[in-house]
């Protein structure tokens, strides 16, 4: 039977209330050393639950009504998306992303959440021998791609960030880490917060309208939307994660000593999804010029003493301009007045751009891919332009892939296509001693229980996307169904 957490668990060792950590601090600590956060993480969760209780909850009053509610919600989202597509066909601008840097700002801004995708379910892996937990465990395994790198959600998002130079996300503000910290705290304290975990899972696995629109507009801007489109399919109400979430709730609530109290805590967990930054709030926070100013301000702290005195702008040395980050807006205006930046024109016509982009650029490597995109979009946008979608046509990601596939097919026919790297089949441990040792250790266990206990820690949020974590996930998944 499941009962509420005891008062002893609500206190730190020694009987004193545990200190509630900041989300960003807890996020980092849980990824580095979850065992060292055994008091801080529950205190954080309790504090977040208290905040969440002020949020409205749209769930129906009875569990038996949930599947119908989910299907009705999915239908409403589908209708709204159809209306969005019709508006776009009739000439409406993009709803979310004004330009490419806006889209990359979003990808970077939600990175702390996406890079722990599925973490809240990690604690369920130890319950593999209890069929009532299988809907949650199956969802967890699918978040981990069943150990296949091209399906592992965290691996996919890491690749997406790397492809666009957005890996530098650790300096994001506190609110961007709240959801990730909640997921990591649930990952390691799921037994004490089981109803909240079930409710959080129920909320997280619903298909939102913003996921469909985001996927569409990322593709328009030439950014691979696969991470997002994958969620559209796996979260479906008919057989996907949303359906499994209802099954898990029904299974576990039936075993509760006090079903009403259990369900009240499920509602608390559902509301946890509303805390911190979300997709639409991150998108809405973007300001192109403010983002550029912030980027240059951070560069100023490093480069303010690294420029020669012969280079002057408006009669002042670059080192002088960069001595105080608060001068960055005036510095940008001076660069524009001096013709170093030609606003509203092709970026290649700006002398400042040629300093950072090109084979012999004096400042090559100073700016990341994301930072260069922000500078590019700011430069080509006229100063008096409204914050609307750019009218210039951008080749969509799928169109680029079709063109690339055509080139590769043509090359293959002509006998000039470069041969790809040899890919070993998933699960092949040849050539990697660590993977080979894992296979040997699992083979030497005294049975399924011991093997599962060995594999689960290797599927923790901090390691499941590594080579050994992926192999452990494949083996766990096979044993679960054996």
Task: Give the CA-trace dihedral at 271, 463, 115, 190, to 10 degrees.
Answer: 0
* CA dihedral over 44, 49, 54, 60, signed as positive or negative: positive
pLDDT at residue 311 in the model: 74
Per-residue pLDDT at 151: 95
CA gap 146, 152 in Å, rounded: 7
Q: Which of 108-122, 321-335, 364-378 has the lowest mean pLDDT?
A: 321-335
Alpha carbons 246 and 66: distance in angstroms, whole number: 7
DSSP labels for 193-207? Answer: THHHHHHHHHHHTS-
**List of residues 6+ apart from 324 with CB closer than 8 A:** 300
Length of the chain, in residues: 482
Q: How confident is the model at residue 384 (pLDDT cuts 50, 70, 90)?
A: confident
The C-alpha angle with vertex 47 and arms to 42 and 49, in degrees rounded to 5, equals 95
Is it the case that residue 432 has pLDDT exceeding 50?
A: yes
Residue 293 and residue 328 in contact, taking contact as beta carbons nearer than 8 Å: yes
Distance CA 157, CA 159 (A): 5
pLDDT at 325: 83
The residue behind tokens 């479906």 is 236
Residue-level pLDDT at 300: 77
Q: Give the residue from 461, 392, 476, 466 showing the smallest Cα distance to 435.
A: 466
- Using CB atoms within 10 Å of the CB of residue 328, give its burial: 0 to 12 exposed, 13 to 18 middle, 19+ buried: buried
Mean pLDDT of 44-72: 93
The Cα angle at residue 182 between residues 246 and 227, in degrees rounded to 5: 70
Locate all alpha helices (DSSP H) within 255-348, ordered by sequence.
Answer: 259-271, 279-284, 288-303, 318-322, 328-337
Range scoring the smallest mean pLDDT among 143-147, 176-180, 289-293, 296-300 = 296-300
What is the distance between the alpha carbons of residues 33 and 120, in angstroms, rounded to a whole number? 16
Going by C-beta distance under 8 Å and a sequence separation of 6 or more, which residues neighbour residue 358?
364
Structure tokens at 177: 């880490």
pLDDT at 267 (0 to 100): 96
* Highest mean pLDDT: which range of 85-89, 384-388, 404-408: 85-89
Provide the pLDDT for residue 45.
Answer: 98
Q: Which two tokens stand for residue 172?
A: 């994001």
Asked whether 426 and 147 are in contact (CB, 8 A), the reply is yes
- pLDDT at residue 363 in the model: 76
Residue 87: how many CB atoms within 10 A of its CB? 12
Q: Taking the CB of residue 185, how many other CB atoms lie within 10 A of it?
A: 30
Radius of gyration of the chain (CA): 25
Is the per-residue pLDDT at 80 higher than 80?
yes
Mean pLDDT, residues 421-432 taken together: 47
pLDDT digits (tens, 9 = 90+) for 285-317: 999 999 999 999 888 776 555 555 667 888 788
Nearest to 81 by CA among 97, 95, 93, 100: 95
**Ranges 217-226, 287-296, 314-323: which has the least confidence:** 314-323
């Amino acid at each position: 039977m499941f009962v509420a957490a005891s008062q002893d668990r609500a206190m730190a060792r020694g009987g004193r209330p545990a200190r509630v950590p900041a989300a960003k601090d807890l996020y980092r600590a849980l990824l580095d050393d979850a065992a060292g956060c055994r008091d801080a993480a529950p205190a954080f969760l309790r504090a977040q639950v208290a905040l969440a209780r002020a949020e409205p909850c749209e769930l129906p009053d009875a569990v038996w009504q949930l599947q119908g509610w989910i299907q009705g919600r999915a239908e409403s989202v589908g209708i709204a998306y159809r209306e969005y597509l019709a508006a776009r066909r009739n000439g409406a601008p993009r709803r979310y992303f004004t330009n490419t840097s806006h889209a990359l700002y979003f990808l970077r801004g939600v990175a702390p959440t996406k890079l722990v995708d599925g973490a809240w379910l990690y604690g369920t892996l130890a319950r593999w021998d209890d069929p009532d937990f299988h809907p949650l465990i199956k969802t967890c395994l699918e978040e981990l791609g069943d150990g296949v790198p091209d399906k592992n959600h965290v691996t996919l998002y890491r690749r997406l960030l790397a492809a666009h130079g957005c890996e530098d996300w650790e300096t994001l503000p506190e609110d961007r880490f709240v959801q990730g910290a909640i997921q990591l705290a649930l990952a390691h304290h799921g037994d004490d917060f089981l109803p909240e975990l079930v409710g959080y899972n129920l909320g997280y696995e619903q298909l939102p309208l913003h996921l469909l629109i985001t996927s569409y507009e990322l593709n328009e801007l030439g950014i691979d939307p696969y991470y997002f489109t994958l969620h559209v399919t796996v979260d479906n109400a008919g057989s996907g994660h949303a359906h499994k979430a209802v099954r898990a709730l029904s299974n576990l609530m039936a075993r509760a000593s006090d079903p009403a109290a259990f369900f009240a805590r499920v509602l608390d967990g559902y509301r946890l999804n509303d805390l911190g930054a979300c997709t639409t709030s991150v998108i809405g926070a973007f300001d192109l010029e403010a983002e550029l100013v912030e980027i240059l301000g951070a560069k100023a702290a490093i480069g303010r003493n690294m420029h020669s005195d012969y280079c002057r702008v408006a009669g002042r040395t670059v080192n002088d301009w960069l001595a105080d980050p608060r001068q960055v807006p005036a510095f940008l205006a001076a660069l524009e007045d001096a013709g170093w930046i030609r606003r509203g024109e092709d970026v290649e016509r700006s002398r400042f751009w040629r300093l950072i982009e090109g084979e012999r650029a004096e400042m090559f490597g100073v700016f990341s891919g994301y930072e260069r995109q922000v500078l590019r979009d700011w430069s080509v946008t006229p100063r008096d332009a409204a914050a609307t979608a750019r009218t210039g046509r951008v080749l969509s990601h799928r169109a680029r892939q079709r063109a690339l596939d055509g080139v590769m097919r043509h090359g293959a026919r002509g006998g000039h296509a470069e041969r790809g790297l040899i890919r070993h089949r998933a699960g092949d441990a040849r050539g990697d001693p660590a993977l080979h040792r894992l296979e040997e250790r699992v083979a030497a266990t005294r049975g399924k229980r011991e093997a599962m206990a060995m594999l689960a820690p290797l599927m923790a949020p901090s390691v499941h996307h590594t080579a050994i974590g992926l192999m452990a996930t494949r083996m766990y998944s096979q044993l679960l169904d054996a």
